[in-house]
Chain A
Amino acid sequence: MKLTCLQENLSKGLSIVGRAIGTRTTLPITNNVLLTAEESRFRLCATNLEMAITCWIGSKVDRAGSITVPARLLSEFIASLPNDKVDIELPPKGRTLQLHCARFEARISGIEAEDFPPIPQVEGLTATIEASALRQGIAQVAFAAAADESRPVLTGIHCDFEEDRLTLASADGFRLAVHKTTLASPVSGKAAVIIPARSMAELSHLLSDEDEKVEIRINVQKSQALFKFKNLEMVSQLIQGNFPNYNQLIPKNYATRAEVGVADFLRATKAASTFARDGSGILRVQVTPGAELTPGKVAVSARAEEIGDNMGEIDATVKGETAKIAFNSKYLLDVLNAIGQGQVALETTTPSSPGVIRPIGQDNYVHVIMPMFVQW
């Protein structure tokens, strides 16, 4: 293997594939990055066995070949080099990678490429989607997936492909996020799979807002999904199991609907969260309809026993009756941060039935939060 590339490109590529390096691994070689010199391209690849990221960078290849070396070492060394040409050489039948850049040089002993876990080629149902649409979808659902592994299906994002629609959903049991988006090209047939939320979150880091398309390929039998864009490929395992039938969990009606500005609601929620932190994270939300000359309002309050309490009020357009409902502050903060701007509607029925949050003017997103049962 013998090639020349630019330090800047190599460093960027290594930091991209580095996102797939597992922190805790049972297979030591997954701490390595697989380097492969192909004709006129240099391929970098890393995996934590749940997902794999492959990145190609432009280079002048004199001799093909491949090797694996410790990813962190290589990445940190390359990042510290000046922006110049990097010469990389692996002597035939050798295992020590030699690096040259300006007046720096290094030797890193590696492990044969044959020992690296094979990165699957995914063939199957194929769809394309705008990168920005996919990114927004992931941002609005991934946080609602379960963090603990006790029910594996809940740590994933349910992805439902049908014609030109993709529905993303996640639920940790206490909240549910559903985002509908449009595919750039319709799929033939349909598929519903669960992709680990962790993989999807990494994917969204790699997606830019640029006008580009992402190719998605799903192979249900082999339990794999592939995302391909620019010079990148990400392959993820799917999670096996039955996802809850979430459509029936979204309330169809409400007794009270309050429309508020997201920024205002977020400020009141953050203010109250500082007090909720010392309790059980309980935020109390009270909705009061307006009268003839006064606008309706939403009050967000929290108290920490023996420490203090607070309340913040915001104007609201309220339909229906007075309402009281308590939420875990984290859940409310998460969804408001994910929506970010504009107006939202908070729909409630009783203090112990689910609260629904919908961005106004964006009817492709709905978020359901189960309240906390508290004494008022």
Chain B
Amino acid sequence: MTSWLTLPMINMDRRILHLDLDAFFVSVEQSLNPSLRGKPVVVGGQPGKRGVVASASYEARAFGLYAGMPLASAHRLCPHAIFIPGSFSHYREASAGFFRILADYTPDIEAGGLDEAYLDVTGLLPGFDSAFHMAQQIKHRVRRELDLIVSVGIANSKVVAKIASDLGKPDGLIEVTKGAERSFLAPLAIGKMPGVGEKTERLMKGLGIATIGQLADTPPAALKNRLGQWGETLHRHAMGIDDRKVEPPGEAKSISRETTFAADTLEEGFIKATLRYLAERVGADLRQHAKRAKCVTIKVRFSDFETITRQCAIPEASDSDQAIYEAGLRLLARAFHYRRARVRLLGIGVSSLQDPGQQLHLWDFTDEKAARLNRTVDQLRKKYGFTSIQTGQTRRLKEDYPDSPDRDGYRLHTPSLSR
């Protein structure tokens, strides 16, 4: 049955660029320290410690290293690699430079992390005869101005552009012309499809699907059976159909921080100190964004990788470290009530963000005092670095992380933390 009501037409003539900086963290390190060029370099931490590879140079990848791999395995595969802990402030700076360049070409930018972006340049090519030439110029500027290399994919949809940029790496530039999407995708291995991880790949192999072309030829009903709505979406993507828009970021909906411990732990003092530190980072971000949160969530991953979250609302929307930490402590008790096992990863976040405006209390001034304290601490930290001033609850972290010369935060073992 067809309806006379039609959805807005999908513009098949879109030109979407997907840009992805090659081996981003490593490349930034290499540009800061040229002696690292041409060598197997791993950013993420020391191999003796816990954690995962955050970024590996192409020379290291030749040994089978990849982002997300445990550092220990990386060291086994490539013992002569240079392991560096990385410093997030440099990456943030480089990323800001990258997005400043992109902003010269279009306002329609959707960031995917620090090193990745979609640009919609449909009908918007002033001074360029094609999207391809625009991409060439962006690549040139990124190399000249930032000393970084960006791979670009161009297509009429996000999914095809992303696959194209990935396929061209390193230093790639691939344009998929209109009408050629399906034939471009067909021969590619199913694992190249964004959103197809190990688990889905195994499931697809079970269905006899090894390439994206075979996925496109599979009846969508069969996929829907196994994968639900997601199966249908994957099928459309395999045919080169993807009507998702390039959406500039809206306001932040949540703010969170997490870290993996150097060793799985059940030591309450240490877990609480870390929770406090993470809460302070979240609180600082929240105040930086001039928002208040109504909802606090914690995430706990146990040593066997079981991961749980616990969430609660706080009575009055708040932006104070104290309120976030106290809610976090209550949630932590709930998590341990569910299961008392050694913890591998701990995270805390806030959501239901609201505009600022603190409801004052008639006789209880703790919130106001906390707000004044936090404002002062924020100012100090802005000037002298995050660890220049500490609360008592996080004092012991200085001993637990002795090798943290970075004033901008403890160098814990996942780069996500220092963000």
A residues less than 8 Å from B357 (CB atoms): 279-280, 282, 326, 372-374
Point out the residue from B354, B360, B362, B364 that lies within 8 Å of A373, measured CB to CB.
B360
Contacts between chains A and B (CB distance < 8 A), count: 54
Q: Which residues of A contact B315 (CB under 8 A)?
A: 148, 150
Contact A175:B360 (CB < 8 A) given known A279-B354, A280-B354, A280-B355: no
Specify which of A280, A352, A373, A374 lies most central, judged by the most chain B CB atoms within 10 Å of its CB. Answer: A280
User: Are the CB atoms of B362 and A171 closer together than 8 Å?
Assistant: yes
CB within 8 Å for A305 and B355 given contacts A148-B315, A173-B364, A280-B317: yes
Nearest Cβ in chain B — how far from A352, in angstroms?
A: 6
B229 at interface by CB-CB < 8 Å: no
Asked if A328 contacts B359 (CB within 8 A), the reply is: yes
Q: In the complex the two chains form, what is the Cα distance from A162 to B360 in whole Å?
A: 32
Interface size, chain B (Cβ < 8 Å) = 17
B354, B359, B371, most chain A CB atoms within 10 A: B359
A27 at the interface (CB under 8 A from B): no
**B70, CB-defined interface residue at 8 Å:** no
Interface centre among B317, B360, B364 (most CB of A within 10 A): B360
| Contact residue among A150, A173, A305 (Cβ-Cβ distance under 8 Å from B361) | A173
Q: Which residues of A contact B363 (CB under 8 A)?
A: 173, 244, 249
- Report the minimum CB–CB distance from A368 to chain B (whole Å): 7
Question: Which residue of chain B is the closest to A282 with respect to CB atoms?
Answer: B357
B362 touches A173 (CB 8 A): yes
**CA separation between A373 and B317, bound complex, in Å?**
13
Q: How far is the CA of A86 from the CA of B141 in the complex (A)?
A: 93
Nearest Cβ distance between residue A349 and chain B, in whole angstroms?
13
Q: A196: CB under 8 A from chain B?
A: no
By the criterion CB–CB under 8 Å, are B362 and A175 in contact?
yes
Q: Mark B346-381, 1 if CB is under 8 A from A, else 0.
A: 000000001111111111100010010000000000
Interface residue? B292 (CB, 8 A): yes
**Could you say which residues of chain B place their CB within 8 Å of the CB of A368?**
362
Among residues of B, the one whose C-beta sits closest to the C-beta of A173 is: B361
Bound: A75/B282 CA distance, A:
54
Instruction: Kindly identify which residue among B251, B361, B368 contacts A174, using a CB–CB cutoff of 8 Å.
Output: B361
Give the nearest-CB partner of B354 in chain A: A280
User: In the bound complex, what is the Cα–Cα distance between A255 and B363 (angstroms)?
Assistant: 21
**Given A148-B315, A150-B315: A174 touches B355 (CB 8 Å cut-off):** no
A375 to B361, CA, bound (A): 18
- For window 317-356 of B, CB contacts with A under 8 Å fall at 317, 354-356
Chain A residue numbers with a CB within 8 Å of B360 are 174, 352, 370-373
Given A150-B315, A280-B292, A374–B359 Cβ distance below 8 Å? no
**Alpha-carbon gap, A326 to B251, bound state (A):** 24
Task: Collect the chain B residues with CB atoms within 8 Å of residue A244's CB.
Answer: 362-363
Closest chain A residue to B358, Cβ basis: A373
- 175-213 of chain A: CB within 8 A of chain B: 175-176
Q: A148-B315, A150-B315, A280-B292 are in contact. Are A176 and B362 (CB under 8 A)?
A: yes
Tell me, in angstroms, the Cα distance from A367 to B371 when the chains sit together.
Answer: 26
Interface mask (B391-406 → A, CB under 8 Å = 1, otherwise 0): 0000000000000000
Distance of A306 Cα from B250 Cα, bound (Å): 10
Verify if A354 is at the interface (C-beta below 8 Å from B). yes
Complex alpha-carbon distance, A204 and B292, angstroms: 38
Q: For window 221-246 of chain B, which residues contact chain A by CB distance below 8 Å? A: none
- A320 CA / B356 CA spacing, docked (Å): 29
**Cβ contacts under 8 Å, B251 to chain A:** 305-306
**Nearest neighbor of A368 in chain B, beta-carbon distance:** B362
Q: How far is the CA of A352 from the CA of B358 in the complex (A)?
A: 10
* The 3 nearest A-B residue pairs measured at CB: A373-B358, A370-B360, A280-B354
Known: A244-B363, A280-B356, A373-B357. 19 other contacts (CB 8 A): A150-B315, A171-B362, A173-B362, A174-B361, A174-B362, A175-B362, A249-B363, A279-B355, A280-B292, A280-B355, A280-B357, A354-B362, A370-B359, A370-B361, A370-B362, A371-B360, A372-B357, A373-B371, A374-B357
Binding site for B on A (CB under 8 A): 148, 150, 171, 173-176, 244, 249, 279-280, 282, 305-306, 326, 328, 352, 354, 368, 370-375
26 pairs from A and B in contact (CB 8 Å cutoff): A171-B362, A173-B361, A173-B362, A173-B364, A174-B359, A174-B361, A174-B362, A175-B362, A249-B362, A249-B363, A280-B292, A280-B355, A280-B356, A282-B355, A282-B357, A306-B251, A328-B359, A352-B360, A354-B362, A370-B360, A370-B361, A370-B362, A371-B360, A372-B357, A372-B360, A373-B358
